[in-house]
Structure 1
Amino acid sequence: PKCNKGFRWCSDLIKHQRTHTNEKPFICSESGEDFRVSSHLISHRRMHTGERSYPCLKCRKSFSRNSHLRNDQRAH
């Protein structure tokens, strides 16, 4: 499939092509959930492990994703 989008990096083109083919090569070994991008699988695995690497220094909550920490920080 062609959509005429251009990409600077080959890796970005490959990720984009997966939206057209619905290819999801990154599979969680615990839940079987599949992902187009490896970083999404890495974030998903944190749900299983309970890892929360992003602490808020103001309220002492910790988060599994940096975006969740940023949302919390905006609330302060």
Structure 2
Amino acid sequence: MALTNFILTVAGVSAAVLLLRSDVKNSAAIFRRNVKQIRHWLEQESQSASSKVGDKVKPKEVGGKVHQKESPKDD
């Protein structure tokens, strides 16, 4: 009886390990893909923000005086 319980326990643990292994691999692959996408979004956002900041900072001259370029206000 003890040998049968041991064999069933080993079989059950082995089955659980095999199932969890594939779940962990799939989860890791999805996580890596999500991290790549988030990095891509952050790079795009930083490039977009830096180009917008560069446009707003350019001074313009009016009547010999230098004025900051007015940015449109969001309503």
Q: TM-score range by the shorter chain?
A: under 0.3
Structure (1 or 2) with the larger CA radius of gyration: 2
TM-score when normalising by structure 2: 0.23
* Structure with larger RCO (C-alpha < 8 A, sep 6+): 1
Taking structure 1 as the reference length, what is the TM-score of the superposition? 0.23
